[in-house]
Structure 1
Amino acid sequence: MASNAIATTNEVDVSAVIEAPLAHVWHFIKLGEFHKFWPAIEKAERVKGTTSDSDVYKWTFKDGTSLEVKQDEHSNINHFITYSAINAEPELPYSSMVSTIRCEPVTSGKLENSTFVRWSARFSSDADLGVIEDAKYKRQDALKGLEAAASSMSKA
């Protein structure tokens, strides 16, 4: 499929039930900790020169690309984080992206004491189908990594 195909939606929404307690999953949901669970990220570091009230991190991916992300919201009470892409090398093929990760405890049933994680992203209208599909697969891969990281905490 051509990379300039028109996207039918500019949103990505992936989810997973991670068989680890909410506290273990939530431990990793900080912009500076994503490299500890997302296999594609080599390192995450606070951008120098930013103030303590503007959390901006640079994610360096294993393929050599980098993405600066700004924390827009973070709630330890409601267990969600929202961040936006603000700079990239090489330049992104779209104007903007806002992403949210929400975590909910599973409180009953066979998966009690697990965590439901939903990771959504909204892209600007100039994002094509290739961007949307790539974002979906990257988030699915990251959720697998999050499950492995949180599960290893549970066994420790």
Structure 2
Amino acid sequence: MAPRIPTSTSVLESAVIEAPLSSVWHLIKLQDFSSFWTTLSKSDWVKGASSETDIVKWTFKDGTVLEVKQEEHSTIEHYITYSVISSQPALSYTSVVSTVHLYPITSGKHEGHTFITWSGNFSSDADADVIEDAKYKRREALADLAKAVGK
């Protein structure tokens, strides 16, 4: 067995979106991620989920299907936190909790734009490949978001 490479189990990517927060925030709902994230073919509410639990199925163009559960959502602080509760095919790690957080830029050369972060905190069994993959997927999604609000 190959030795395991020690790695951080968290990832944080950020970007400046050249649009006001109000133009970006309306897309940051789990059921709307497919409207900007080009690797998703669709995102649908999971039928039969409890009325107190928001669960969305993300279907990726490569055939991967994730069910993600909204853990927190704040329209005041402009963030959403979600966890992956199931995956087909199965994930190689136990869990991940992610947060997308938006901040209005209020001064300087980017005034009127939006600063966004997308973090992921993985269980300790996530390896370096998982963390690298998460980093690049978040970067791609943030670039897709910037294009979507720029239209």
Query: Which TM-score band applies after superposition, normalised by the shorter structure?
Result: over 0.9
Q: Which residue number corresponds to residue 147 of structure 1?
A: 146
Query: Identity over the aligned pairs, expressed in percent?
Result: 57
Q: Which residue number corresponds to residue 129 of structure 1?
A: 128
For 2:48 and 2:57, how far apart are their aligned partners in 1? 12
Q: Which residue number corresponds to residue 49 of structure 1?
A: 48
For 1:59 and 1:138, how far apart are their aligned partners in 2? 14
Contact (CA 8 Å) 1:35, 1:42: kept in 2 or not? yes
For the aligned residue pairs, the C-alpha RMSD in angstroms reads 1.2
Contact (CA 8 Å) 1:5, 1:130: kept in 2 or not? no
Segments of 5+ residues of structure 1 without an aligned counterpart are: none
TM-score by length of 1: 0.93
Contact (CA 8 Å) 1:7, 1:132: kept in 2 or not? no
For 2:22 and 2:6, how far apart are their aligned partners in 1? 36
Aligned pairs (5 A) from 1:77-116: 77-116=76-115
For 2:149 and 2:75, how far apart are their aligned partners in 1? 17
Segments of 5+ residues of structure 2 without an aligned counterpart are: none
1:122 corresponds to which letter in structure 2? N
For 2:39 and 2:59, how far apart are their aligned partners in 1? 9
TM-score by length of 2: 0.96
Q: Which residue number corresponds to residue 38 of structure 2?
A: 39
* TM-superposition CA deviations, 1:56-86 (whole Å, max 9, x none): 0000000001000000000001000000000
Aligned residues between the structures: 150
Q: Which residue number corresponds to residue 58 of structure 1?
A: 57
Partner SS for 1:67: strand
Report how far residue 52 of structure 1 moved. Answer: 2.7
Q: Which residue number corresponds to residue 15 of structure 2?
A: 16
